[in-house]
């Protein structure tokens, strides 16, 4: 074989070799690392990851990113109506690496969009009005935050504070009015047996439970919507924002009281997170809101059997300038929080102050009786009997405390139902069983969220 022929073969061989691929951009490497971390440990954002893999970042020379990964979609996780796709996901990738967003006001996305970072009085952080869940997740030089829904694009024009503030306040009053009418109706059914089939037919109870669940979570969604609008306003919105946050905390605790579970989107919130959120609010809010949150926290602790903590948070409220008023027509002097309007059974519009000082004394009496402090427990009971039931005797037995709870809270807008579970006393309604200490979770919710477990007995 001639040398020329060999050279020709060599030349052909060299020409046939593929051209080496250009090195990956810094952006590609950063995104690949983020995908790797999320695929390994965060299956709850797998839908987001699949779209993230297809994002074109070949020309991105940023190796430090902050990504907002969206939880997998369910029927209840898209309050904003925004859709996650190859275009909107770029709004979830911000330039710069931020482990915390405490001191950050705005971020620039890789597509040129802007993100606005805000904080509520309880310390929660929001991006474009969507709450950030948990702490940041490290991924190489970048950080990831989990969010429950798609980040909507910021409006081109700012909200007019004065007009919208009054509008939001009026709308929220109407929303909470409907909610409290709903909870009063449910309490009547659960405690008085106004529908005799409520505890003899699971289908009947599920009907009432489904209706309340839908109402409660629709109210919370409205609260999220109004908070987003308030986030774009001036400091004049701060008071209304606190009002809505406290109202939403009351509704969340109602849901926990009825179901023993609380959901955010499709994810179950553990009691420990609810407790931590309430503690943050107590640290951040002014005195009246602080006391309302303390009562909610004391009730959660009582439901968990943490009697020392329940007692401690009741004591924190006693220093407030509250007083027992009228059993059937309590006034604002007894209110730990603002009043709520609702329509009574006789068709009159009533403004009910909630929560009330009487419930603080009731919880303190229960907690101290459970701790074996009968003298202290009786001291709280004596305050209640002198204020409302002169000449009537109650004691620290479970049966007597349940009777006292009913006398204090039934028909006054309070949530009496969980006290029967706390005291391990049967509900005072024909057909009630142990399983009825919790309401059934709607089947639709279970179908959409397979990790959520139905309450026992249903």
Of 81, 84, 30, 97, residue with least CA distance to 58: 30
- Which numeric CATH code is attached to 28-147? 2.30.180.10
pLDDT at 339: 60
Between CA 320 and CA 123 the distance in angstroms is: 24
Mean pLDDT of 244-260: 95
pLDDT at 5: 40
User: How do the domains of the chain map onto residue ranges?
Assistant: 28-147, 161-448
Residue 442 pLDDT greater than 90, yes or no: yes
Percent of the chain with pLDDT over 70: 85
pLDDT at 286: 83
For residue 275, what pLDDT band results from cuts at 50, 70 and 90? very high
pTM for the full predicted model: 0.68
pLDDT at 344: 54
Give the pLDDT confidence of 32-71 residue by residue, as tens digits.
999 999 999 999 999 999 999 999 888 898 889 999 999 9
Residue 86 Cα to chain centre, angstroms: 29
Between CA 433 and CA 202 the distance in angstroms is: 11
Q: 132 with 146: CB under 8 angstroms?
A: yes
Of residues 230 and 383, more confidently modeled: 383
pLDDT at 31: 93
Number of H helices, E strands in the chain: 14, 12
pLDDT at 10: 45
Mean pLDDT of 246-272: 92
Q: CA neighbours within 13 Å on the CB side: how many for 428?
A: 16
Pairing assessment for the beta strands 65-70 and 142-147 based on DSSP bridges: parallel
Give Dmax (Cα) for the chain: 124
For residue 447, what pLDDT band results from cuts at 50, 70 and 90? very high
pLDDT at 23: 66
Residue 201 pLDDT greater than 50, yes or no: yes
Mean pLDDT of 321-343: 79
For residue 432, what pLDDT band results from cuts at 50, 70 and 90? very high
Give the pLDDT confidence of 361-415 residue by residue, as tens digits.
999 999 999 999 999 999 999 999 999 998 899 999 999 999 999 999 987 667 8
For residue 77, what pLDDT band results from cuts at 50, 70 and 90? very low
Instruction: Please provide the average confidence, as pLDDT, over all residues in the chain.
Output: 86
DSSP class per residue in 41-71: H-GGGHHHHHHHTT---TT-----EEEEEEP
For residue 2, what pLDDT band results from cuts at 50, 70 and 90? very low
Residue 199 pLDDT greater than 50, yes or no: yes
Of residues 200 and 83, more confidently modeled: 200
CATH topology of domain 161-448: 1.25.40
For residue 332, what pLDDT band results from cuts at 50, 70 and 90? confident
Of residues 376 and 27, more confidently modeled: 376
Residue 268 pLDDT greater than 80, yes or no: yes
pLDDT at 170: 86
Between CA 257 and CA 22 the distance in angstroms is: 59
Structure tokens at 447: 């179908």
Residue 268 φ/ψ, nearest 5 degrees: -80, 130
Under DSSP, is residue 125 helix (H, G, I), strand (E, B) or coil?
A: strand
Lowest mean pLDDT among 119-128, 260-269, 361-370: 119-128
Mean pLDDT of 237-263: 92
């Amino acid at each position: 074989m001639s040398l020329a022929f060999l050279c020709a073969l060599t030349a052909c061989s060299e020409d046939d070799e593929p051209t080496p691929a250009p090195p990956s951009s810094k952006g590609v490497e950063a995104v690949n690392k983020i995908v790797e971390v999320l695929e390994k440990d965060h299956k709850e954002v797998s839908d987001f990851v699949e779209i993230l893999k297809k994002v074109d970042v070949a020309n991105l020379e940023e190796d430090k990113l902050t990504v907002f990964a969206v939880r997998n979609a369910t029927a209840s996780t898209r309050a904003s109506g925004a859709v996650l796709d190859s275009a909107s996901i770029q709004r979830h990738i911000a330039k710069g690496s931020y482990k915390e967003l405490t001191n950050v006001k705005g971020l620039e996305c890789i597509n040129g969009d802007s993100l606005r970072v805000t904080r509520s009085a309880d310390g929660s952080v929001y991006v474009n009005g969507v709450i950030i869940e948990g702490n940041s997740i490290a991924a190489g030089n970048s950080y990831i935050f989990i969010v429950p829904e798609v980040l909507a694009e910021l409006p081109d024009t700012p909200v007019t504070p004065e007009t919208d503030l009054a509008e939001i306040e009026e709308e929220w009053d109407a929303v909470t009015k409907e909610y409290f009418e709903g909870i009063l109706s449910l309490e009547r059914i659960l405690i008085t047996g106004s529908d005799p089939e409520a505890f003899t037919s699971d289908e009947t109870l599920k009907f009432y439970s489904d209706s309340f669940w839908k109402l409660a979570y629709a109210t919370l969604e409205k609260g999220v919507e109004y908070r987003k609008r308030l986030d774009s306003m001036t400091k004049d919105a701060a008071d209304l924002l606190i009002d809505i946050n406290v109202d939403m905390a009351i509704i969340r605790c109602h849901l926990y009281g009825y179901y023993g579970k609380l959901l955010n989107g499709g994810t179950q919130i553990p009691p420990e997170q609810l407790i931590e959120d309430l503690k943050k609010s107590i640290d951040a809010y002014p005195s009246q809101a602080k006391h309302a949150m303390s009562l909610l926290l004391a009730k959660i602790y009582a439901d968990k059997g943490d009697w020392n903590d329940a007692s401690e948070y009741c004591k924190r409220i006693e220093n407030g300038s509250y007083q027992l008023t009228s059993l059937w027509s309590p006034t604002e002097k007894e209110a730990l929080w603002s009043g709520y309007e609702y329509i009574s059974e006789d068709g009159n519009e009533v403004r009910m102050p909630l929560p009330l000082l009487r419930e603080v004394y009731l919880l303190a009496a229960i907690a101290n009786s459970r701790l074996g402090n009968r003298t202290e427990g009786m001291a709280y009971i004596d305050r209640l009997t002198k204020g409302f039931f002169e000449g009537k005797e109650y004691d620290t037995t479970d049966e007597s405390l349940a009777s006292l709870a009913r006398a204090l809270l039934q028909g006054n807008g309070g949530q009496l139902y969980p006290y029967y579970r706390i005291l391990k006393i049967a509900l005072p309604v024909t057909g009630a069983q142990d399983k009825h200490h919790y309401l059934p979770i709607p089947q639709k919710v279970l179908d959409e969220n397979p990790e959520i477990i139905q309450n026992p007995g249903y």
